[in-house]
């Protein structure tokens, strides 16, 4: 690696390690899963509302 003189290998290694670290998947509790689903449904319902607004504006 053609390393710039002002930057040590160790400094660059630190950023490479951070970038390449793989975090394992976490377990979602039932409550958290329910919250995610509720907000997903919320977004879908709200998008329907936006479509209604657009439809009325076009009409």
Partner 1 sequence: MSEPPQAAPAPEDIQRAKDRRAIEQRRTQSGAGLRMLMLVLGPGVLVFLGENDAPSMLSYAATGAQFGVGFFLPFVVATFAIAWVVQEMAARVGLVTGQGHAQLIYARFGRFWGGFAMLDLVAGNFLTLVTEFIGIRAGLGFFGVAPVIAVGGAIAVMGFAISTARYRRWEQMTLGLALGNAIFLPVAVLAHPSVPAIGHALLSWSPLPGGFKPSSMTLMIADIGATVTPWMLFFQQGAVTDKGLTLRDLRSVRLDILIGSVLAAVIAIAAIVATAPLFAHGISAGNFQAAQFAEALEPYVGHLGAALFAIGIFEAGLVAAITIATASAYAFGEVIGHAHSLNSRLRDGWLFYAVLLGSAASAGALTLIPGAPLEEIVILVNVVATLAMPPALLFLLVMVNDRALMGSARNGVLGNVAGIGVTVFLIGSGLAFGASVVAPGWFN
What residues line the site for partner 1 (CB under 8 A)? 1, 3-4, 6-9, 11-26, 28, 32, 35-36, 39-40, 42-43, 45-47, 49-50, 52-54, 57-58
Shortest CB 46 distance to partner 1, Å: 4
With CA atoms as reference, report the closest residue to 30 among 21, 22, 38: 38
Show the tokens assigned to 21: 């670290």
By the 8 A CB rule, do 24 and 15 touch? no
Shortest CB 30 distance to partner 1, Å: 14
Shortest CB 56 distance to partner 1, Å: 8
């Amino acid at each position: 690696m053609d390393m710039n003189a002002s930057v040590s290998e160790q400094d660059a290694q630190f950023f490479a390690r951070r970038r390449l670290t793989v975090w394992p998947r976490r377990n979602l509790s039932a409550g958290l899963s329910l919250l995610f689903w509720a907000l997903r449904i919320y977004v879908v319902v709200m998008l329907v509302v936006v479509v209604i607004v657009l439809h009325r504006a076009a009409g």
